[in-house]
Amino acid sequence: MTSLSSDLPIEISQTALSVIADAGADVGQFRIAEHQNRMVNTRDGSVENVASDSNTALSVRVVHNGAWGFAASTDLTHEAARDAALRALEMARISAQVSNEPVELIDEPSHGTVNWHLPIGEDAMAKDDSEIIELLQEWNARVAKAQIVNHVDAGVSIGRDTTFFADLNSNQITQSRDRISANLTAIHISAEGFEDMRTCAPPAGRGWEYLTGTGWDWDAELNQLPELLAQKASAPSVEAGLWDLVIDPTNLWLTIHESIGHATELDRALGFEANYAGTSFATLDKLGNFKYGSPIMHVTGDRTADHGLSTVAFDDEGVSAQKWDLIKDGILVGYQTDRATASRVGLTRSNGCAFADSAQHVPIQRMPNVSLQPGKEDITTAELIAGVERGIYIVGDKSWSIDMQRYNFQFTGQRFFEIRNGQIVGQLRDVVYQSKTPDFWGAMARIGGPSTYLLGGALNCGKGQPGQTAPVSHGCPSALFTNINVLNGRKEASA
Amino acid sequence: MSELTMPQAVEIGLELLGKDGGVVVGEASENANLRWANSQLTTNGNTNEKSLNIVAFVPVDSGIGAGIASGQVRNRDDVAKLVEVARASGVASGASEDAAELFAGPVSADFNDAPVSADLSGISHIAAGLGEVMRDKSAQFFGYAEHEQDTLYVGTSAGTRLRFPQATSRFELCAKSPQRDRSAWSGQGGTTLLSTNVHEHASNVLQGLEYQKTKIEIEPGRHKVTLSASAVADLMIYLMWTASAREAAQGRSVFSAANGGTRIGEQLTARNFNLVSDPKLSGLETLDRVVNLGASSMSSPFDTGLPISATSIISGGVLSSLASSRHAAAEAGLPFTPLADNIHVYDAAGHGSLSETAARMGDGLLITCLWYIREVDPQSLLLTGLTRDGVYVVRGGEIVGATSNFRFNDSPVSLLNRITDAGESLDCLPREWADWFSRARVAPLTIDGFNLSTKSDAI
């Protein structure tokens, strides 16, 4: 990033902030953000796309006359910074005409001048395209040689965010963080139709080392994939009804994301997302008294987890990273906040969850790493399975959907292993599990220990209008849920 | 982009690509938006964005490789860096299986003109209307208005020089009762916010809240429903996105035939039902030339510049074509079928408005819109999702109250043969997919046995 490695950000931020200060605005925040992405994907070993992009912009955000104003530009010049400041002030003027409740931001101490970089091993951004392609083609060849496999799709995605933040509170904060993701899907086609099986490796805040064995055993998973696909292709279709589910972290992270992560966003609870992403059943009156789930449930929010996709030192309002409880002993005890929502509900400090996916978008309250903590006793996944008489062990995520208040959800997965009398007896097909958030978490009967804990996550969490996407991680152990409604996806489709 | 105009950047990109050639696409966008919640404005913005995309075609062993690089450019050096990255990616990629000779597309006489500026008067128009609507304290209002002006500059080494300005607007209004036990929504797509009548939308949502005062318990199950145009659009857009000739020919889609090949020619419904993508659709016109940066089962950058004509995916109830690149079409032995950025869904026998269509249903449920639609099973194209902001109970052709929301599990393909009635097509805002696809002219449909799988407590 050339723009952020020079004095330019500081210089043009001063141009913008002086315009804002002269106008008498209460809050003035200036950001430059550069987002770099690389992507390679192959289809049956042939390269389909090798692409890279970068997006750099500046933006100015103000609170003036009690209203927000925001403007952005992809020009990184003094003129563009001054213009953005003036446009932001004008947007605040327009908004103030219709606002009946002034915007107030809760205080945050100045952190001064800071430089922070997410620790990684090997710089993936510096890799030649050919090295990435060779890795994917080697993976492809390894899986495609199995007779059961008719097609293979594979891809690698690499990202880096570099940001500069300055405000009227004397902050000048430069940060960078990397992430990497890869996946491979094997497909079997027969006269009866087709089945697929995808790797379960989550995206991670790591470098190239992640694809060569640090943090994920790619060799083991790729070697197993054809056999897992063969088992699935010949598996019986599930019988719909109530089942006990042992859910692997590779699947449970997504259920946490949808039913806890989004539900504990304070802006949703206050109605700010009502037209789009929705609201939350976890309303403020439930704070401190609502039974979210079973007493063994302890869920935290953090922006500090090692290799977390939402890990950062400071958010886009200059608030330093923290870790806090969202659900403790099964009771709702906290929310994710930005400075405006924290002020609105009388909190003394934001927990640092304001950010945007580019400088061209307004920072909104977004999700930190939200994680289900493992049990104190180190119960293994095998031990959870051993305690189940009739159930399904679900591994890997696939389809997901949840309603606009985060009650009714439905998920599928990659692999569904039937459990009979504490033993896995083979795979099942067409498994869809469906529940209501408090019922599901209330049915969590046992929880795995630290040895089962895995940091899952996604690169594409969506929220806000204009729409924004964000990467986020969710750690969790394996866990047992009793009497969960399982549908047969194939039968649901038949009229 | 301060030192270069967009046409200049495109020309420099093509010059630097040299005889090997490629595609250069410049994008200039201006966006203005307003957002409100709890009957007050929350966020707003006015942003300008410019970027340059280079697709470099590079000779490699046994063919031509393609690499893509995108970013902002301010001078010739910035363009050169992008070209260098794209060419290096092209070399690394090896021979592209979709490589083909570029088509010499059109040359726009106004190619060198500046990007079109956004008309921001629509935002003021909406703000003024909202100021009046929000005085009504019988409900709380939430919503979003956006106007975006994009100008595309497309240049190829085969001579195409295309400038394409396009305006897109969007308005959404949601009203909730003060107790938050009722919720209604109304939306509108288009090209300008100036045509949005905020008061009319407010009247719609307040009428919805009024209907919802009467709560009627309906059990989950298969029900006769009338889906609004917005709801139908969200289902049919997903069908269109999955209508890939290559996926079907390879046995990887709902449109794959049981014994190989595709289902083209199969009667999906006995009704004269049509799903068309047409760049000349009056009022919803869109780009009539292929512009692709990346390759997929439905697209290839080597097709850039080729004309797009009207394509019927479903014609008279018959699956008549599937989307493809030239390469995918040749591989599948099918005609080359690129799609435009709009959708027109109509039933030849369709007539009347949404409320008239719902009234003809007699007894059933009128569904305002769908939300959180995701694919459950690609083989049947089983989709799941939620009803949202108004499921109205119709008895004897009249709305008599409202029921809860439901999770649905149904396939936009299988439901085609359960259509029992259709209204007239109208321009609508597909609520789920509007961030990606908003040019929709779609008929409301009455469907037998729509699978409302479980209840949702969400309001």
Q: What is the pLDDT of residues B349-365, one digit of tens each?
A: 999 999 999 999 999 99
- Residue A91 pLDDT exceeds 90: no
A404 contacts chain B (CB < 8 A) = yes
Interface test with A, best of B42, B186, B416 (most A CBs within 10 A): B42
The average pLDDT across B393-404 equals: 98
A111 contacts chain B (CB < 8 A) = no
The average pLDDT across A94-119 equals: 91
Q: Do A73 and B47 touch (CB under 8 A)?
A: yes
Closest CA to A9 of A125, A159, A162, A178: A162
Q: Which residue of A has its CA nearest to B146?
A: A466
Contacts of B201 in chain A (CB under 8 A): none
Read off the pLDDT band of A1 (50, 70, 90): very low
Q: Do A49 and B68 touch (CB under 8 A)?
A: yes
Interface test with B, best of A74, A97, A259, A484 (most B CBs within 10 A): A74
The average pLDDT across B269-289 equals: 97
Predicted confidence (pLDDT) per residue in B101-116, tens digit: 999 999 999 999 999 9
Contacts of A430 in chain B (CB under 8 A): 377
pLDDT of residue A99: 72
- Scan residues 339-378 of A and list those with Cβ closer than 8 Å to B: 360-362, 364
pLDDT of residue A192: 87
Chain-wide mean pLDDT for chain B? 96
Closest by Cβ to A74, choosing from B34, B48, B375:
B48
Are A192 and A133 contacting, i.e. CB atoms less than 8 angstroms apart?
Answer: no
Q: Do B457 and A408 touch (CB under 8 A)?
A: yes
Read off the pLDDT band of B447 (50, 70, 90): very high
DSSP three-state, residue A212: helix
Contacts of B42 in chain A (CB under 8 A): 68, 272
A223 contacts chain B (CB < 8 A) = no
CA gap B343, B439 in Å, rounded: 7
CA gap B95, B299 in Å, rounded: 17
Helices (H) and strands (E) in chain B, counts: 8, 19
Provide the 8-state DSSP code for B379.
T
The average pLDDT across B27-55 equals: 90
- Residue B327 pLDDT exceeds 50: yes
pLDDT of residue B259: 84
pLDDT of residue A21: 98
The average pLDDT across A200-204 equals: 98
Q: Which residue of A has its CA nearest to B41?
A: A99
Q: Which residue of A has its CA nearest to B436?
A: A467
Read off the pLDDT band of B44 (50, 70, 90): confident
- Residue A449: how many CB atoms within 10 A of its CB? 18
pLDDT of residue A101: 84
Contacts of A363 in chain B (CB under 8 A): none
Alpha carbon separation from B90 to A46, A385, B86, B97, B101 (Å, rounded)? 13, 49, 6, 13, 16
Alpha carbon separation from A213 to A75, A217, A218, A219 (Å, rounded)? 41, 5, 6, 8
Closest CA to B394 of B360, B356, B351, B362: B362
- Chain A nearest C-alpha distance from B399 (Å): 24
- Residue A3 pLDDT exceeds 80: no
Q: Which two tokens stand for residue A463?
A: 């929220």
The one-letter code for the residue type at B369 is C
The average pLDDT across A422-437 equals: 98
Closest by Cβ to A490, choosing from B258, B377, B458:
B377
The one-letter code for the residue type at B111 is F
A2 contacts chain B (CB < 8 A) = no
Contacts of A355 in chain B (CB under 8 A): none
The average pLDDT across B143-156 equals: 97
pLDDT of residue B3: 78
Helix B6-17 / helix B76-93 crossing angle, nearest 10 deg: 40
pLDDT of residue B2: 56
- Residue B47 pLDDT exceeds 90: no
Read off the pLDDT band of A202 (50, 70, 90): very high
DSSP three-state, residue B3: coil
Using CB atoms within 10 Å of the CB of residue B445, give its burial: 0 to 12 exposed, 13 to 18 middle, 19+ buried.
buried
Q: Do B2 and A77 touch (CB under 8 A)?
A: yes
- Chain A nearest C-alpha distance from B226 (Å): 17
- Residue A84 pLDDT exceeds 60: yes
Closest by Cβ to A95, choosing from B44, B252, B454:
B44
- Chain B nearest C-alpha distance from A377 (Å): 36
pLDDT of residue A495: 60
Closest by Cβ to B43, choosing from A68, A278, A410:
A68
Q: Do B386 and A53 touch (CB under 8 A)?
A: no
Contacts of A94 in chain B (CB under 8 A): 44, 123-124, 127
- Residue B98 pLDDT exceeds 70: yes
The average pLDDT across B385-413 equals: 98
Predicted confidence (pLDDT) per residue in A388-428, tens digit: 999 999 999 999 999 999 999 999 999 999 999 999 999 99
CA gap B156, B293 in Å, rounded: 12
Q: Do A189 and B250 touch (CB under 8 A)?
A: yes
Interface test with B, best of A258, A275, A317 (most B CBs within 10 A): A275
Contacts of A438 in chain B (CB under 8 A): none
Predicted confidence (pLDDT) per residue in A303-358, tens digit: 999 999 999 999 999 999 999 999 999 999 999 999 999 999 999 999 999 999 99
- Residue B328 pLDDT exceeds 90: yes
The one-letter code for the residue type at A469 is T
Q: Which two tokens stand for residue A377?
A: 């006793």
Closest by Cβ to B252, choosing from A94, A133, A187:
A187
Return the residue matching tokens 């321009």. Answer: B427
- How many CB pairs (< 8 A) connect A and B? 272
Around A329, how many Cα atoms within 13 Å sit in the side-chain half-sphere? 2
CA gap B281, A49 in Å, rounded: 32
Read off the pLDDT band of B42 (50, 70, 90): confident
The average pLDDT across A466-495 equals: 94
Strand residue runs (E) in A168-283: 172-190, 193-198, 241-247
Interface test with A, best of B183, B302, B377 (most A CBs within 10 A): B377
Closest by Cβ to B384, choosing from A72, A399, A407:
A399
